[in-house]
Chain A
């Protein structure tokens, strides 16, 4: 399969803190790649580099062969119509109702009429299982539960029918039934829309369930990339310790 996103020899630091050093990773067309690793190691940074919200200090981040850091304003705008991101807390716009949140990209990038935007917003909400209550469109984000906010954020990300969706810890802070629901949604979107997905998560059951491949961030790069089955049966101590939640001696 062809790589849609490639990170080659990437280095990234924030002040004295080096997050990535000679990091390589490829996301293949149509797959769901899950990124795992300890808290604060830079998994979200990796995603933000993929969508051009952050840029690598060294190396290359390529989307379909194009170097992301070399894209101009219009190039980045075009990239972000093809690559959508679901943020950890949902990042819904507090000042807008759900209809305007979900339809934001449509208002920004298309000349669709108000009615068509409302219809498309409703369709997206229906896809994420929020199609029972039409009144939801007029509600404000603050009135939604954590699980609903995440699902609305996913609905917002699919409004423009992107090729790739980046999920930044989509299950964090949710109860087990909502975690399962979000996992099912990721699988459903991959199946029905054919999107390529990159999922950052700490939740190993979700990672095993939704992934075609898993990449583990360890010591500023991804030394372990394998299928879920490979990860389950790995003999590599660092990987086993992480997925079984073991603490290393002296750590």
Chain B
């Protein structure tokens, strides 16, 4: 009996520890968002830094976003095509693919791949600056690290991911049309018409809205993990690994929340 009690206590203590650190982590992320909004959104807005990071985070992620979007468009169209052939409805392939790609797969796949790349890059860079005391040096020179380092990265990530999602939607549509035409003998122009016909503006907006939130999340997690890196080069590696996990879990959790919000609307 006492062993059972002891085990139960240990389990509860472990669960409590995980919950406490989880809430602490979420609280830290919220605090960082608050600080960045209050201290960053003031003149000068750091437009040059924001554009620098948009190039660094967004433009340099174009090849990855291109490859991911092409393949997700092809794979999903092929899967739907196979399923629809069984019902003798292969001509509906455009209708079936469009909603899943625009509302769900393109934003989520890009956030999971390109977003994780952005977040880990931020964590590694800020983590290295933290362990080499460069962040303290910025503060000691009278500048604000939140304004100088966090604000431009957050804004850049928040803008870059939806722009990449727009590009990804175009490519997913194009690659889906190729599969429809070549594999299922559904003309590409018919695929295009049915694809676009199925979509309402709210579908585009829900996809883009998700990308904006995912971008913000990616920026927040990447920066927070970097700023909370402990001392030593090993700590940078640990933070970066944790960022991948945190980004993936947060994006999928947030996707569920956003889907419950957006679905009734669209």
Task: Using CB atoms and an 8 Å cutoff, list the residues of chain A in contact with chain B.
Answer: 48, 51, 53, 73, 76-78, 80-81, 84-85, 87-89, 91-94, 104-105, 108-109, 156
Which B residue's beta carbon lies closest to that of A109?
A: B142
B144: CB under 8 A from chain A? yes
Q: Please name all residues of chain A whose beta carbon is closer than 8 Å to the beta carbon of B128 when the two chains form the complex.
A: 94
Chain B residues within an 8 Å CB radius of A84: 140-141
Q: Which of these, B39, B129, B142, contacts A108 with CB under 8 Å?
A: B142
What number of A-B contacts does a CB cutoff of 8 Å give?
53
Partner of B132, one of A53, A76, A91, A109: A91
Extra pairs beyond A53-B140, A108-B143 (11, CB < 8 Å)? A73-B39, A73-B144, A84-B141, A87-B137, A88-B133, A89-B133, A92-B134, A93-B138, A94-B132, A104-B141, A108-B141
**B197 interface residue per 8 A CB criterion:** no
Cα-based distance from A143 to B36 in the complex (angstroms): 33
Residues on the B chain within 8 Å of A109, using CB: 142
**Could you list 28 A-B pairs, sorted by A, with CB under 8 Å?**
A48-B136, A53-B136, A73-B39, A73-B144, A77-B142, A78-B142, A80-B139, A80-B140, A80-B142, A81-B142, A85-B136, A85-B140, A87-B136, A87-B140, A88-B133, A89-B133, A91-B132, A91-B133, A91-B134, A91-B136, A92-B134, A93-B134, A93-B137, A94-B134, A104-B141, A104-B143, A105-B143, A156-B141
B140 and A89 form a contact (CB under 8 A)? no
Please indicate the chain A residues that have their CB under 8 angstroms from the CB of B142 in the complex.
76-78, 80-81, 105, 108-109
A91-B134, A93-B134 known; A53 vs B139 contact (CB < 8 Å): yes
Least Cβ–Cβ distance between B152 and chain A, in angstroms: 13
List of A residues within 8 angstroms of B129 by Cβ: 94
Our pick among A48, A80, A88, A94 for the contact of B141 (Cβ within 8 Å) is A80
Interface residues of B: mostly helix, strand, loop or mixed? helix
Give the complex CA separation of A203 and B136 in angstroms. 24
Per-residue A-contact encoding for B113-147, CB less than 8 Å = 1, 0 else: 00000000000000011001110111111111000
A48 to B135, CA, bound (A): 13
Report the minimum CB–CB distance from B230 to chain A (whole Å): 11
Q: Are B133 and A105 in contact, with the CB atoms below 8 A?
A: no
How far apart are the CA atoms of A89 and B134 in the complex, in Å? 10
Tell me how far the C-beta of B126 lies from the nearest C-beta in chain A, rounded to whole angstroms: 12
Q: Which residues of chain B in 170-188 are interfacial with respect to chain A, using CB atoms and an 8 Å cutoff? A: none
Closest Cβ–Cβ distance, residue A126 to chain B (whole Å): 20
Residue of A whose beta carbon sits closest to that of B144: A73
Q: Contacts of A94 on B, CB cut-off 8 Å?
A: 128-129, 132, 134
Nearest 10 pairs between A and B by C-beta? A91-B137, A80-B142, A91-B133, A85-B140, A105-B141, A87-B133, A77-B142, A108-B143, A91-B134, A81-B142
Bound-state CA distance A109–B129 (Å) is 22
Q: Please, which residue of chain B has its CB at the minimum distance from the CB of A108?
A: B143
Query: Which interface residue of A91, A93, A94 has the most chain B CB atoms within 10 A?
Result: A91
Q: Shortest Cβ distance from B149 into chain A, in angstroms?
A: 11
Complex Cα gap A80–B145 (Å) = 14
Instruction: Closest A residue to B38 by CB, please name it.
Output: A73
